[in-house]
Amino acid sequence: MGCATEPTGPADSTGAPRPSATPTPVTTPAPTPSPAAPAPRPQPSTAELLTRAEALAATGRESYKDFIRALRADADASEVQVKARRAKTDLRGALDAYNEALDPLRDDEGLLPREHEGHEAVIQQTATFLVDLEKLAKD
């Protein structure tokens, strides 16, 4: 009985290399490294946040005064509305900035440490301007 035998050498009868009994590992390209995430911004200090809040409160007061002047001068209604919106934005920004700066310092009862209690007067004045503005500028 004639049985075909497989070549045992490194090449078959045509001279082509024999397929390897062990599979050739498939190589996948290395993943492209993603760009590094930007480094987190350092958190501003309480003093920096308060300086920003104070500046916004001063801007808000000036915007509120501009609105009042326009209202008293019987300025064009569109001009009064623009000044009202500007003042609202500035006053709200100031209140938000104060909250960002002071909320982490409040105790369980919502009170500020003694060294920061003075800010409450500015916050109250800013909130009062905002309430008055809402009453006067009926958008």
**Residue 6 is assigned to a structural domain of this protein:** no
**Residue 40 is assigned to a structural domain of this protein:** no
Query: Does residue 27 carry a pLDDT above 80?
Result: no
**Residue 60 is assigned to a structural domain of this protein:** yes
What letter represents residue 38's amino acid? Answer: P
User: Which DSSP helix (H) or strand (E) runs through 2?
Assistant: none
Residue with tokens 């082509």: 16
Residue 59: strand, helix, or coil: helix
What value does the mean pLDDT take over residues 90-107?
Answer: 94
54 touches 122 (CB < 8 A) = yes
- Tell me the pTM: 0.67
39: DSSP letter: P
Domain that includes residue 87, residue range: 46-136
**Residues 6 or more apart in contact with residue 57 via CB below 8 angstroms:** 91, 94, 97, 98, 122, 126
Mind listing the pLDDT tens digit for each residue in 34-85? Answer: 667 677 778 888 889 999 999 999 999 999 999 999 999 988 989 999 999 9
Q: Which residue has the higher pLDDT, 46 or 4?
A: 46
Query: Does residue 6 carry a pLDDT above 70?
Result: no
Query: Does residue 18 carry a pLDDT above 70?
Result: no
**Residue 24 is assigned to a structural domain of this protein:** no
Q: Total domain count for the chain?
A: 1
